[in-house]
Amino acid sequence: MAIDAYVLFKVSSGTERESSQKIAEFDEVSLISIVYGEYDVIVRISVPDMQALERFVGEKVRKVKNLLVTSTMVIAREYKGITRRNAK
């Protein structure tokens, strides 16, 4: 069963674009956003199983320069619909 997750990153100040470009090279990444707030970058990934998630975070991502902190959130359930922001 495929695992979808968000991985949140804190990066060294001023390296948001550089870090995002490097992370975007990984096949597991489907979306990457630079954000304001507690974290600097949020990445959505899809992997085949928990072992692949562990390899992605533990081996691939942690080798990227300027990453200070990661927080991984596995998606349990998703809902979609029209939001106020998208409503016309």
Going through the chain in order, the beta strands assigned E by DSSP cover 3-11, 29-34, 41-47, 67-74
Q: Residue 80 domain-assigned?
A: no
Q: Residue 82 domain-assigned?
A: no
> What is the per-residue pLDDT across 14-59, written as a single tens digit (0 to 9) for each?
999 999 999 999 999 999 999 999 999 999 999 999 999 999 999 9
Domain hosting residue 47, numbered range: 3-74
What is the token pair recorded at 24? 């975007």
> What is the per-residue pLDDT across 33-43, written as a single tens digit (0 to 9) for each?
999 999 999 99
Helices (H), 1-88: 16-24, 50-55
CATH number at residue 14: 3.30.70.920
Q: Residue 45 domain-assigned?
A: yes
Q: How many domains does the chain have?
A: 1
